[in-house]
Amino acid sequence: MGDGPRRLSCGPITLETMTTTPDRVYLDHAATTTMWPEAVEVMHDELQRTGNPSSLHEAGRRARRVVEESRESIAERLGARPSEVVFCSGGTEANNLAIKGLYWSRRSADPRRDRVVFSSIEHHALLDPVTWLAAHEGARIDVTPVDRQGRVRIDALRESIESSPEDVTAITTMWANNEMGTIQPVAEVVEIARRHGIPVHSDAVQAAGYLPLDFAATDLDAMTVTAHKLGGPVGVGALVIRREVEATPLLHGGGQERDLRSGTVGVALIAGFATALELTVQRQAENTGRIEALRTRLVEGIVRVVPEAVVNGDPLPGAAHRLPNIAHVTFPGCEGDALLMLLDAQGIEVSTGSACQAGVPQPSHVLLAMGFDDAAARGSLRFSLGHTSTEADVDRLIEVLPAVHERARTAGLVRSRTR
């Protein structure tokens, strides 16, 4: 496993300097995944060149060619037109641009439009901008509930929209949930919205690495992707947004990126993004099958050594059900944070389903929305695989888990007695 290129004191980064951390197992690919060596190589080459893509001289024109060829490559693999790909710093910025931009633009055109409809399991990169709009811009929030598997309840969404469609500025529904891996009924959401002329945005950050995406075929108005979930660099992503859709920009300046995202674009980052997406799409079918098999090995192993463990989310694989790389597991009687730190001490890196705000662990809003009680929400872990995951990684987890679980369970019993 690797955490990216090793920092060198001197000399260039080559493929040989990509290294693994000894005795560490990385099972947190949903947070960020290892860069493809080819993407590192492309970025290394670009970082040695000079040129602002907005400059008119030869160096600027060369940089512009790299950006536009990368844009074309990304658009082709996402089923979009090149002019619909707007480069941003990542998924958070793209989500903010989508939801705030649509809200401001549509409310300016019709003050009656003050309602934002979004699901109860959105990532904080969407949850927080929406709540900000409510606190500072007078937006009314309409939260769509989900079922026990973490899937949006279409009946509730339909009822919410059709009760008063004229006041809805936008609908946003993530393509696949980042904690549970559950895939959302995006096509059905779009179908409901189209009847009333309401734009739909989808955060496809988690989905893009493991599902074939076709922006045009979905009839979405906007879609978010980011490079570092695909084996590309941190710091670059894109909002794919139809040319016909008007959105108010967050940044004003030089007018780059259709005047929706001013600022000098990062040539090396964009080239790395394009390379990573190209490789991901080329190898997606092979990697998805291999990773699904690894997930099965992982889940079966966990349940075998910890029989009381509960595997959450949709049990069925496939594009209508869940992502192949995420396994979300509740360990009754344990604190997820304790399990995480005990595993980390054994060299295994995973994630809890909780968000840590101001240093105080809070139950995940995703799990609470799915109907989990506080204890179950706190006692869960997310294991997420990626293109560099191996059977040895899974087997190492299963090897250390019984002792880790026993220690966490004992600590939980002691804690409950002292309350």
Closest by Cα among 190, 225, 192, 187 to 206: 225
**What is the rounded distance in angstroms from the CA atom of residue 364 to the CA atom of residue 180?**
11
- Cβ(203)–Cβ(213) below 8 Å: no
Give me the catalytic one of 10, 88, 334, 356. 356
Respond yes or no: is residue 88 known to be catalytic.
no
Provide φ and ψ at 275, rounded to 5°: -65, -45
CB 146 within 8 Å of CB 121: yes
Eight-state DSSP code of residue 249: -
Q: What are phi and psi of 261, to 5 degrees?
A: -150, 85
With the C-alpha atoms ordered 131, 137, 138, 143, is the resulting torsion angle positive or negative? negative
Instruction: Give yes or no for a contact between 199 and 208, defined as CB atoms under 8 angstroms apart.
Output: no
Alpha-helix residue ranges (DSSP H) falling in 171-318: 186-194, 215-218, 267-282, 284-305
Q: What does the DSSP 8-state code read for residue 252? A: -
Spatial separation of the C-alpha atoms in residues 315 and 384, rounded to whole Å? 15
- Phi first, then psi: what are they for 329, rounded to 5°? -130, 135
Distances (CA, A) of 374 to 8, 145, 383: 45, 18, 20
Residues known to be catalytic: 356
